[in-house]
Amino acid sequence: MQQMMDALVKAEAGRGLKLTQVPVPKPGIGEILIKIHKTAICGTDVHIYNWDPWSVQHIHPPMVIGHEYVGEVAALGPGVYEHHYAIGQRVSGEGHIVCGHCRNCRAGNGHWCKFTKGVGVDREGAFAEYLCIPETNVIPIPDGIPDDIVSFFDAYGNATHTATMFDVVGEDVLITGAGPIGVMAVAICVHNGARRVVVTDVNDYRLGLAKKMGATATVDLRSQKLEDAMEAQHIIEGFDVGLEMSGNGAALNQMLKAMRNGGKCALLGIAGPGTVIDWNDVIFKGLTLQGIYGRKMFETWYRMMAMVESGLDLSPVITHRFHYTEFEKGFEAMNSGQSGKVILDWTKK
C-alpha cells in the first residue's frame, strides 16, 4: 500500500484549493479504507472553494474536502467483520457520521443526530485517492449502477429525501430551484407518478436541464409568470406538493402562495437570515412545512438504488467530466451556473 496520495486540500483561508500530497489514512477500529474512483463537486464544495461566510464559520484548514464519491474497498480496519465486505467491492458512503447514542440515533433517526460530523466538512473528505469512514456508513453498490451515477449519490439522496417526503402519485408538484438537486427531484417525481411537475428558476441553462429530466413546464421568473404556467397547465386550485430547493426567500413565498389549501411543502433550500414569510398563507391554507436535512439512514439509500435499478435515468444531469488534476476547470464550471453535475476522475494518475 502506498504511503502518500494526491488530494485536494483547503490549505488555508481564502479562495481556492491546493492539489498536494498527504498521507494515506489508516483505517481505525471499525473503519474501512476506500480507494476513490470518481467524485462529484457539490454546492458545499463550491462554498468552500470560494471561501464564503459560511465556509469561514465552519471550515478549519487544512482539510481534504469533498463528500460525493464512488470507490472500492481497499482495506478493513480492526473489528470490521470480513464477511460483510470484500477487498475490491464497489461502495459509496453516507456523508454524515453520527454518534449512534443520542435519542434520535437510538430511535432510528440518525439524520437528525445532534452530533453529526460531515465528511469533507468536519473531517477529512473524499477529494483524494483514498478515504476512511466508519463501516456503518459504507454503502455496497449493485453492479448495474454506473460509477458516474454513484459518484453523486449523496446529492441524489438529498433530492430523494425531499421528493419522497410526501406522496406525489397523481399530484401537481412545484419545484423552486433548478440546481442539480432540483432537477434530479424532477426526474424522481416523474418516475414516481406525479401528474405535473413545474419548475421555477432564473437560469435558462438549468431550466433546460429540468426539461431534459422530464419537467412538464419550466418558468424563467425573469420574463415569465408562474400564474401563467399554472393556467396553461390547468392547475386551478394550486399545487399539491412543493419542493423548495433554491434557498431564496422570494421563491419560498411564491411557493406558499401557489399551494392549494392543505398542500405540503418539503424545504431543502436554506433561506438567508431575516427571511420573512406570510404566515397567513401557512395558517389559513393549512399548509404542512417539512424541513429536510441529509438522507434518512438508510431508508433513503435503499430508495435511491431501487429507483435507478427500476429505470430512473439521472444521466442528463451530468454535464462535465474532468481528471482530478483539472479540478480548477470543474469549479469554474460550477461557479458559472452553466452546469449540472461535474465529475472528477481519480482512476488514473
Which residues are identified as catalytic? 44, 47
Report the DSSP pairing between strands 31-40 and 130-134. Answer: antiparallel
**Using alpha carbons only, how large is the chain's radius of gyration in Å?**
20
Amino acid at 58: H
User: From CA 160, how far away is CA 189, in angstroms rounded?
Assistant: 9
Residue-level length of the chain = 349
Cell digits of residue 176: 423552486
User: From CA 171, how far away is CA 240, in angstroms rounded?
Assistant: 6
DSSP string, 139-208: EE--TTS-HHHHTTHHHHHHHHHHHTSS--TT-EEEEE--SHHHHHHHHHHHHTT-SEEEEEES-HHHHH
